[in-house]
Structure 1
Amino acid sequence: MLKVLTMRSIIFSRVVTIVKRLRQSNIVHCRLRHVSNVSSDLIAPTPADHFLSFCEEFDDDSRLKFSRDMVIVDNFVSESEEDSMMDELKPVLKEMHYEFDHWDDAIHGYRETERLKWSPKNMQIIERVRRIAFPSETSHIPLVHVLDLAEEGFIKPHIDSVRFCGDIIAGISLLSSSVMRLVHEKEKSKCVDVLLPRRSLYIMTGTARYDYTHELLNKEMSIFKNEKVQRGRRLSIICRNMPLK
């Protein structure tokens, strides 16, 4: 029980850190509002939530917990920054072919690589992700995961293994908007669709990281709040921290 309480305390403190860093970076986010310096309601959804669509099975407490642990930062990178990152990745990706199977059958229509060194301009973007999404004492996984999903590609439901990464996953969405669906691992009736706008950053931690499977919907199923999302080729730049001991 003590171990569980300690883990919850660590997760909450890291969520608080994320919000503080977002505010210090002057990033405006329509879902975040300051409630209390000590309350667990530090992060709460506003009535006009643009990025989350909950099924009816979510009660208010579940909505609050999920909204606290799944943060979307719209327009995290500019158009020129998106172009800069793509210019660096194009020579690498053009030598690769899209794959339509995966070693654990989790991804369809993809090509991927990991990158340690970036141009100075793009490294500033990676450092901005790490500065905002992770506490300062974080041990980062040095290699940044680059996942290029074809227009017809999709990612099947899964939970990232705790053997390979820690409690925070942060990803930039490039080239296309998309819809991520999360389903509670034990309570299958509880699901939420998350809109990931082009050039946004998503930060998953806490219950969104550990208690829900997440998947990226295919082109035909990419509908958010009854509106079709024009999903094309999507490239994500994903930063993770080292597995927790």
Structure 2
Amino acid sequence: MRILTFSVLKNCKIKTSLFKNLSVQVQANNEIEKLSDPNLVDILPSWKEDEEVELRSTVLQHMRVLPNFVTEEEEAALLAEVEPQLKRMRYEFDHWDNAIEGFRETERSTWNAANSGVMARVRKVAFPPHAQLLPHAHVLDLAPAGHIRPHVDAVRFCGDTIAGLCLLSSAVMRLAHEQRPHLALDALLQRRCLYVMTGVARYAFSHAVLRGAEGAWRGAPVRRGRRVAVICRERPRAAGEP
């Protein structure tokens, strides 16, 4: 399993010493442990129980969903701040790397006082102490029929940890191993949840937001509507940086 995982990390130009630190960072964050719900992440049947057991355990530690992370009032306040800018845009169906269809997006570096408190809570819970985040939060607005194709976020754009607030509606995110895609899992991203990806979930697995009938959870359809995600990312590490 280590050969399989580290070969993917090498292809991503990530040092193995960095990977060793990732698990320590996640496990040290007791808030994630307390607030996440393991029942919101399911290993797919294609991943047999006796196959890559260590990898299975690791990715379940590195992909977490924290339900009801924001209240209805906090959700409304976040949306009220980003909606004026989003409404001036049209949904796009051509993304520069062909990863997203039916979306509009913007970035935000400053928030009002109430929303700044929510974003500070995201930073405290999702990221290791002293982590340096990118200054802009990525605001992604998916149309009801929009979806995200399988991809791994480029290491030149973001670092070890990605955390996203899911607003307005629920969705199913699928993670599949880059080299052996039958090693896959689904995560139910419920409305108002926070998801946190790091470690092998970040570097060794692609992630996608499913559409239509594909986006079922345990055989039941997930009612999809417009979905807004506010995504925070750790700063990429410079070459040679520990």
Shorter-chain TM-score tier: 0.7 to 0.9
Which of 196, 214, 218 aligns to 1:221? It is 214
CA–CA distance in structure 2, aligned partners of residues 243 and 77 of structure 1: 27
Q: CA deviation at 1:61?
A: 2.4
User: Do 1:151 and 1:219's aligned partners in 2 also have CA atoms closer than 8 Å?
Assistant: no
CA–CA distance in structure 2, aligned partners of residues 184 and 132 of structure 1: 26
Q: Deviations over 1:37-84 (max 9, x none)?
A: xxxxxxxxxxxx233242332433232111110011000000000000
Q: CA deviation at 1:189?
A: 1.6
Deviates more, 1:179-188 or 1:144-153: 179-188
CA–CA distance in structure 1, aligned partners of residues 43 and 181 of structure 2: 16
Amino acid at match of 1:16: Q
Per the alignment, residue 107 of structure 2 pairs with 114
Correspondence 1:22 to 2:29? no
> Tell me, what secondary structure is at the counterpart of 2:214?
coil
TM-score (norm 2): 0.87
Higher-helix-fraction structure: 2
Structure 1 gap segments, 5+ residues each: 32-48
Q: Deviations over 1:180-221 (max 9, x none)?
A: 111110012211111101000000001100011111111332
User: Do 1:184 and 1:211's aligned partners in 2 also have CA atoms closer than 8 Å?
Assistant: yes
Which of 19, 23, 26 aligns to 1:8? It is 19
**Cα pair distance change 1:144/1:30, threshold 3 Å:** closer
RMSD: 1.7
> Tell me, what secondary structure is at the counterpart of 1:150?
strand
> Tell me, what secondary structure is at the counterpart of 2:166?
strand
CA–CA distance in structure 1, aligned partners of residues 114 and 223 of structure 2: 29
Per the alignment, residue 148 of structure 2 pairs with 155
Q: Runs (4+) of structure 1 moved beyond 4 Å?
A: none
Amino acid at match of 2:124: R
Which of 32, 40, 54 aligns to 2:44? It is 54
> Tell me, what secondary structure is at the counterpart of 1:167?
coil
CA–CA distance in structure 1, aligned partners of residues 79 and 95 of structure 2: 24
Q: CA deviation at 1:8?
A: 2.5
Q: CA deviation at 1:4?
A: 4.4
Per the alignment, residue 3 of structure 2 pairs with none
> Tell me, what secondary structure is at the counterpart of 1:165?
coil
CA–CA distance in structure 2, aligned partners of residues 104 and 141 of structure 1: 21
Structure 2 gap segments, 5+ residues each: 1-5, 7-13
Q: CA deviation at 1:5?
A: 4.4
Corresponding pairs, count:
223
TM-score (norm 1): 0.86
CA–CA distance in structure 1, aligned partners of residues 21 and 109 of structure 2: 28
CA–CA distance in structure 1, aligned partners of residues 37 and 131 of structure 2: 27
CA–CA distance in structure 2, aligned partners of residues 103 and 154 of structure 1: 15
Which of 156, 160, 172 aligns to 1:167? It is 160
Deviates more, 1:127-136 or 1:72-81: 127-136
CA–CA distance in structure 2, aligned partners of residues 30 and 88 of structure 1: 29
Amino acid at match of 2:116: M
